[in-house]
Amino acid sequence: MNKKSWIPQGHPVSWMMMIIGTLSMLLIAVDRQILPTVLPAIMEEFHMNSVQAGLLNSLNFVGTFAGAALVGFIADRIGTGHRRVWTWSASCIVTMLSGLATFFTKGVFGLQFWRVIMGVGTGAMEPISAALVSDFWQKENRGFALGVNQTGMPFGQFVGPILLSAVLAYGTWRDAFLWIPLIGVVMMLIQLSIGTAANERRVYHWIDEKHLTRPVANRNQTTHKQVLSNAIQSLKNRNVVLTILIDFLFLWTEQGIVTFLTYRLTSELGLSLSLAALISGASGITGWMGQIVWGTISDHYGRKFSLTILTAGTALSALGCIFINSATTGWIILIIWGIFRNSPYSVINSLIIDSTPETAASSLGLLVGIGFGLSGALVAPVVGYIIQTFGWTWNYIALAISSALVFIPLYFIKETAGRHVSD
């Protein structure tokens, strides 16, 4: 097999793990869509302003920070490959139970508490899912595999609002927290049946036969037994630190746009909550294409090459949101944004795993925890303040600037893929 082939090949188990990983990311994306989508209804019921609502949304990201970082370290301590399935399943259970508890919650404190717990669950699921897919694919096609895996995010961002729109048409905002997370039960059962030690051995035997590179140099090696040492090893890697900063800036821009998107569509444009929820998922229509394309391109031309183009596209898309003044322009601008919205993360995940393959979950946990968790926790109240004080236009200008700042740490990243690295 030609290592430079643009048509990826993999063992059947590898493909199955990638599919279930993609569905896992879809579930995470849908779960994260629930609160921003139903936020107007919650604001009305509890008489919240935009700053208070932003603080509520931030609590989910506080949980994400804790879940991603801590469970990522624990997952590496338990081991790579099929051993990650158990920590992934435990995280999935936490997510489902928190959604069920939210349905029965009547007070503000309960709502706040279970937002943190759901963040812990989804925050833990994301890095483990990416590391698990990577552990079942050869290094030569890591960008492709994680690109497909990451398509679950834009699909979830499109499918989620459709599901939520249907739920809201017949029920209340509480029903969304009851029914959506239960999808994880089926995924968990499938994951447990595929991610076995026997299937892992089959994949590595196939990789060896094809003279490709194993995802981890020594499959039987158990990574560091101490959680703290995993964290220290990850943070000593320059690429990891710079990539976390890049991820933070991309996610700051993304969350700054989506957190109050349905609120803007309903309050400023006068759309119904159901229609606003549907339009808010428009970026998912095109998002999946960018994930696969840019992940694959990064395998051949480098991670930095892909991220350079995606940075420019994200900044321009943020500016484009200024011109949303109707349902039609909302559809058009958000669909264009979808080409760039999720695409950086498949490349970022590949860059992290390239740099620290044996402690991938720890590094990805820091990435998700700091990048997604911390940015999400901080951006909602900040954006809420900017919108309330300066208006929507200045909010999108500020978000475009935050995206453009990616060029600074990107310059100092050490390339890990592409033709000049492989040869």
132 φ, ψ to 5°?
Answer: -65, -45
CB 56 within 8 A of CB 112: yes
Q: According to the model, what pLDDT value does residue 226 have?
A: 56
Give the angle subtended at the CA of 338 by the CAs of 92 and 413, to the nearest 5°. Answer: 80
pLDDT band at 106; cut points 50, 70, 90? confident
Tokens 């968990």, residue? 188
DSSP label of 270: -
| H/E stretch holding 158 | helix 152-170
Give whole-number Cα distances, 268 to 41, 326, 389, 391, in Å. Answer: 15, 9, 15, 11
Q: According to the model, what pLDDT value does residue 2 have?
A: 45
Kindly tell me if the per-residue pLDDT of 420 is higher than 70. no
User: What is the tens place of the pLDDT at every residue in 119-162?
Assistant: 888 888 888 888 888 889 888 888 888 888 888 877 777 777 77
User: What is the tens place of the pLDDT at every residue in 215-231?
Assistant: 876 554 444 455 556 66
* Higher per-residue pLDDT: 218 or 239: 239
Kindly tell me if the per-residue pLDDT of 211 is higher than 70. yes
Tokens representing 323 are 């011109």
In the chain, % of residues over pLDDT 90:
18
Most confident region among 90-94, 321-325, 355-359, 419-423 by mean pLDDT: 321-325
What is the Cα–Cα distance from 178 to 92, expressed in whole angstroms?
14
Q: According to the model, what pLDDT value does residue 312 have?
A: 95
Q: How far is CA 406 from the centre of its chain?
A: 18
Tokens 């208006």, residue? 391
User: What is the tens place of the pLDDT at every residue in 155-171?
Assistant: 777 777 778 878 877 87
Kindly tell me if the per-residue pLDDT of 60 is higher than 80. no
What is the Cα–Cα distance from 172 to 270, expressed in whole angstroms?
20
What is the Cα–Cα distance from 251 to 345, expressed in whole angstroms?
9
**Residues whose CB falls within 8 Å of the CB of residue 178, separated by 6 or more in sequence, listed in order:** 99, 100, 102, 103
Regarding pTM above 0.75, the answer is no
Give whole-number Cα distances, 254 to 8, 51, 81, 121, 237, in Å. Answer: 30, 18, 31, 21, 26
User: What is the tens place of the pLDDT at every residue in 385-413?
Assistant: 898 899 999 999 999 999 999 999 999 99
Q: According to the model, what pLDDT value does residue 408 have?
A: 96
Kindly tell me if the per-residue pLDDT of 366 is higher than 80. no
User: What is the tens place of the pLDDT at every residue in 165-188?
Assistant: 788 778 788 888 877 777 778 888
What is the Cα–Cα distance from 63 to 70, expressed in whole angstroms?
11
pLDDT band at 197; cut points 50, 70, 90? confident
Kindly tell me if the per-residue pLDDT of 310 is higher than 90. yes
User: What is the tens place of the pLDDT at every residue in 1-56?
Assistant: 445 566 788 889 999 999 998 888 888 888 877 887 787 788 888 887 767 777 77
The angle, 0 to 180 degrees and rounded to 10, between the axes of the packed helices 142-150 and 152-170 is 10
| H/E stretch holding 386 | helix 375-390
Helices (H), ranges, 282-355:
284-301, 303-320, 327-341, 343-355
CA nearest to 373, candidates 47, 2, 1, 72:
72
pLDDT band at 277; cut points 50, 70, 90? confident
Kindly tell me if the per-residue pLDDT of 372 is higher than 90. no
Q: According to the model, what pLDDT value does residue 313 have?
A: 94
- In the chain, the domains with their CATH numbers are 12-211+236-422 (1.20.1250.20)
Residues belonging to the chain: 423
Tokens representing 181 are 């997370």
What is the Cα–Cα distance from 203 to 397, expressed in whole angstroms?
47
